[in-house]
Amino acid sequence: MTMPTALSALPPVHEILQSPEGRDCTARHGHAASLACIREVLDECRQRLLAGAAGTGTRESAAGQIAGVALERLDQRHAPAMKRVLNMTGTVLHTNLGRALYAPRAVEAAMRAMTGPLALEYDLDAGRRGQRDDAVQALVAEITGAEAACIVNNNASAILLVLAALAAGRETIVSRGELIEIGGSFRMPQIMESAGTRLREVGTTNRTHLRDYESAIGPDTALLLKVHPSNYQVLGFTHETRCPELLPLARKHGLPLVDDLGSGVLVDLSRWGLPRERSVQDALAEGVDLVTFSGDKLLGGPQAGFIAGRRDLVEACARHPLKRALRLDKVRLAALEATLSLYRDPDRLAETLPTLRHLARRPDEMRAMAQAILPALAAALPASHAPGIAESQAQIGSGALPLETLPSLALRIPAPGASAERIARALRRLPLPVIGRIAEGAVWLDLRCLDDARALVEELPGLAALLDE
């Protein structure tokens, strides 16, 4: 900051507050915070003038300048930490960037739920208390054929609740190859321990046979659990005992078979040229007693966890005291109802559901965007990092079909060695941060999930200055 004025002409605090910038500052950040920050800036000016800095300008212009500096500082300090970003990682369901985006219809429903009372646990026909999960449960039943469903905070909660309600104090049988860890601190053995069920591992890492399950069943067995390996695959000499094979065994011993599906696909993705994944309907049609899955993965809704299947088992989960602790709030329930209702018109899902729109995005659309952005990107980078358009590999993310990649298109910025991180960092420091990916001596900006190409083009001129910092 250049010194706005001489020491003797420094304006008093109340004059600074009264300047147009000072009034802006108070309007945005309140009197107390503005006053404190103006005092801070004023004090810095005083110190620097005392140390011999040369001041210019009048007392009046100084008031505006000092308030302007305070306003900028407070804008920065009070900016939300959870900034909106541009996901150009090529991972559609990026857990660190918030997974699925709400469909416009879900946004409207969430907004209604946030801003007014709603019939959340209220039966409008009878005029008395109703059940919180009813609306969503009916939709899950309609779409998947499940007898009943129970909705909780996320899929981790769903598994926790199933095990607590159906297997506490007894044994749960799981294949050793399915004792997975999913990012952060979700580890299947630990969830089981928290639920109070004893883990009975069967088989080996790569091979688990029907006879392994059979010989593990005893008087203490409460249920058989299958877990979608989600984020890895065992290749080579492997054997998995699938649900249709396990079911007769479960039936013979009167044990529920529970399948943690992870992602929770409700439609056949192959109609959009995507790899086929076993759906919730597939699992229930096989006869699996209960399935659990997420709301914010391939389903494309808010964070949520589903327990769906046999009515008596779902009811046992819904009655357990943990259900209350894990229940969903009204905003997400409303968004979930709206999201699920989109599945009644599967023909238009790729337009109405952002997750599917991104997954199904066509190469020509991505190429047109890349061409629109390229000149601005090239102009913002030194000639040594001249960007180009390149084919890339996107992925679904969040553990869905981990080895399948989707052919995608990216802006590729050649950046050998340490320059890649320098460029990636400058991109992250743009007003609307751009999150790309570093690989093979380049920074890749994948176009599959970009919705606002114009916002990117408009902010790119600011990149050059950030690269020098």
186: contact with ligand PLP by CB under 6 A: yes
What's the start-to-end Cα distance of the chain, in Å?
A: 17
Pinpoint the alpha helices (H) of 116-154.
134-144
Stretches 218-226, 235-243, 256-264, 429-437: which one binds ligand PLP (CB under 6 A)? 256-264
93: contact with ligand PLP by CB under 6 A: no
Closest CA to 101 of 357, 354, 323: 354
Distance CA 302, CA 103 (A): 9
Distance CA 29, CA 12 (A): 20
Stretches 152-160, 380-388, 423-431, 458-466: which one binds ligand PLP (CB under 6 A)? 152-160
- Residue 101 backbone dihedrals phi, psi, to 5 degrees: -90, 150
Residue 317 CB-half CA count within 13 A? 31
Q: Between residues 34 and 294, which has the closer beta carbon with respect to ligand PLP? A: 294
- For residue 96, CA distances in Å to 85, 87, 93, 450 come to 11, 10, 9, 16
3-class DSSP state of 9: helix
Residue of minimal CB distance from ligand PLP?
262
Q: Between residues 90 and 399, which has the closer beta carbon with respect to ligand PLP? A: 399
Stretches 52-60, 103-111, 206-214, 223-231: which one binds ligand PLP (CB under 6 A)? 223-231
Q: What is the DSSP letter of 124?
A: T
Q: CA 105, 106, 109, 115 torsion: positive or negative?
A: negative
Q: Is 15 in contact with 2 (CB distance < 8 Å)?
A: no
What tokens does 120 get?
A: 């959340």
Q: Between residues 19 and 292, which has the closer beta carbon with respect to ligand PLP? A: 292
Q: Between residues 399 and 414, which has the closer beta carbon with respect to ligand PLP? A: 399
- For residue 20, CA distances in Å to 1, 9, 11, 398 come to 19, 19, 14, 49
CB of 230 to ligand PLP, least distance (A): 3
Q: What angle do CA 71, 76, 81 make, to 5 degrees?
A: 145
Mask for 267-296, x = binds ligand PLP (CB under 6 A): ---------------------------x--
CB of 335 to ligand PLP, least distance (A): 15
228: contact with ligand PLP by CB under 6 A: yes
Place of tokens 């003038």: 49
CB of 363 to ligand PLP, least distance (A): 28
CB of 124 to ligand PLP, least distance (A): 31
What tokens does 457 get?
A: 């083009």
What tokens does 455 get?
A: 């916002």
**Residues numbered 383-412 forming contacts with ligand PLP, rule: CB under 6 A:** 398-399
Mask for 294-313, x = binds ligand PLP (CB under 6 A): x----------x--------
The footprint of ligand PLP on this chain (CB under 6 A) covers a number of residues equal to 15
For 124, other C-beta atoms within 10 Å of its C-beta total: 8
CB of 262 to ligand PLP, least distance (A): 3
Q: Between residues 186 and 272, which has the closer beta carbon with respect to ligand PLP? A: 186
Stretches 109-117, 154-162, 373-381, 427-435: which one binds ligand PLP (CB under 6 A)? 154-162
Closest CA to 406 of 91, 86, 97: 91
Q: Which of 227, 307, 356, 449 binds ligand PLP (CB under 6 A)?
A: 227
**Residues numbered 111-150 forming contacts with ligand PLP, rule: CB under 6 A:** none
Distance CA 317, CA 307 (A): 8
**Beta-strand relationship, 305-309 and 148-152:** antiparallel
Q: Which of 154, 208, 352, 408 binds ligand PLP (CB under 6 A)?
A: 154
Q: Which of 10, 136, 146, 156 binds ligand PLP (CB under 6 A)?
A: 156
Q: Which of 42, 182, 336, 409 binds ligand PLP (CB under 6 A)?
A: 182
CB of 99 to ligand PLP, least distance (A): 8
Residues near ligand PLP, by CB under 6 A: 154-156, 182, 186, 227-228, 230, 260, 262-263, 294, 305, 398-399
